[in-house]
Structure 1
Amino acid sequence: MNNFNVWVEAINAVLWSSPVLYTLLFTGVVFTFWSGFSQYYALTHGFKVIRGDYDKADDPGAITHFQ
């Protein structure tokens, strides 16, 4: 069991070191700019759909959310 703890601590030291964390943060920022902030657009669009901004009661075949 002691060998397992040593092994896990060694992996933990590598995975949570500063260079790895900075690389992940930098990659996230690069992809955010590259994709044109699409994750934020999708999040706000999802909230608009949930609020019912795109619902029209007089559309043919429209049903309530409870049906």
Structure 2
Amino acid sequence: MSFIDKAKNKAEELSGKAKEAVGDATDNHDLKAEGQADQASATTKQAGENVKDAATNVKDAFKS
């Protein structure tokens, strides 16, 4: 996974955490849910990138 992808995913996760916290503090259920959705999206993207990295590592291991 490229550094840029990692940074974007982490930024999305942190943004989601902030939205969730603000939504919780202000009793705004929509904002809280949006923050949770952002976090889930970032986690899914990170998992996909980890699978790609693992596949690349396996491929590279067989080339050697």
Larger Rg: 1 or 2? 1
Task: Flag the structure with higher helix content.
Answer: 2
> How would you bin the TM-score normalised by the shorter chain?
0.3 to 0.5
Question: How high is the TM-score relative to the length of structure 2?
Answer: 0.33
